[in-house]
Amino acid sequence: MAIRNILTYPEKSLMQPSAKVESIDEEIRTLIADMGETMFDAPGVGLAAPQVGVNKRVIVYDFHAGNPDDDGLAHEFKALINPEIIDASGSIISEKEACLSVVDFSADVKRYETVVVKALDMEGKPLEFRADGILSVIMQHEIDHLDGILFINRISVLKRTLYKKKLAKELKTN
């Protein structure tokens, strides 16, 4: 396992849709292991393959996120291959949503309260599950990455413009 470099906005590859995984081979298994290690090292609660420079439909997430009973447990994550949201309902505001690829910025984002996700597990077995609350937000956020969408694309134009100006100024001074 290795910690991979996390790409940050305005990296153009983050805005491109990812390719479907056709076979779960050793390369994909290594990617998943590296992504899990990278996510916890960052630290984060989810990570999509495009964030580490791999244009494949793979995500990892901390399935203990948001559960106070699970605090202090060993770093455990799950991987989803070719995930898609097949149903969504309700509405919540994801307060101060942030992203490992959008440095030093958080914002309130309107999300679905509940989603149903269909994917493959690491063995290639199909799975389908319902996600609520924080897990729903993680699923939407990470699957957005696979579609080339960053959370800043889901906030107001004004807030997005302010962030871009701030980032441009920081990049200019470095």
Query: What separation in angstroms does the CA of 114 have from each of 6, 27, 149?
Result: 28, 32, 19
Strand-pair category, 126-132 with 102-111: unpaired
Q: 27, 84, 97, 142: which one is catalytic?
A: 142
22 is catalytic: no
Q: Which residues pair with 132 in a beta bridge?
A: 114
Please name the residues in contact with 34: beta carbons below 8 A apart, sequence gap of 6 or more. 1, 2, 3, 4, 52
Residue reference for tokens 């969408």: 149
Taking residue 123's Cβ as centre, other Cβ atoms within 10 Å add up to: 7
Q: Where are the beta strands (DSSP E) in the chain?
A: 46-48, 58-61, 78-89, 92-99, 102-111, 114-120, 126-132
List active site positions: 142
